[in-house]
Amino acid sequence: MRLFEVDFQGLKNTVYCKSESTRSGFKHVARMYYNGNSYTATRYYYNRTWEYYDFQSVMQDLFKNIVNEFKEKAVNNWKVENNKQRISKDKREEIYKKVNALFADSVNSLKKEPKYTYVEDF
């Protein structure tokens, strides 16, 4: 298992990554605790990966999961604040752009390999 030290939203955070065998290949699993919640992403491979560094794709998926959750929360908050049940496509896209801008630095930071350490699985 590798522990990657990442900057997420300006905070130092740890992403726990491991590789496991599957019946037809292998999978990478990434887990991170952020804002009191646990987030997990899994990516399956049949042969090999084409990543700049190990676990890059699964960590990108993990960050996208977190961003998508925040997008949905922002849309739901807008509906409650404006006492609406539906939201227009344009307004939804506007909210999504604001959330994407908020997390852009964190997502782009994965282009370079973060520092990591090895630990034994427990």
Close Cβ partners of 17 (under 8 Å, ≥ 6 residues apart): 1, 2, 3, 4, 28, 29, 30, 31, 54, 55, 58, 59
What is the pTM for the complete model shown? 0.89
Structure confidence at residue 120 as a pLDDT band (50, 70, 90): confident
Return the amino acid letter for 38: S
Kindly report, residue by residue over 81-96, the tens digit of the pLDDT. 999 999 999 999 999 9
Q: Output the pLDDT for position 122.
A: 53
Instruction: Note whether 32 and 14 are within 8 A (CB).
Output: yes
Q: Which residue has the higher pLDDT, 9 or 14?
A: 14
Whole-number average pLDDT of the chain? 93
Q: Output the pLDDT for position 10.
A: 84
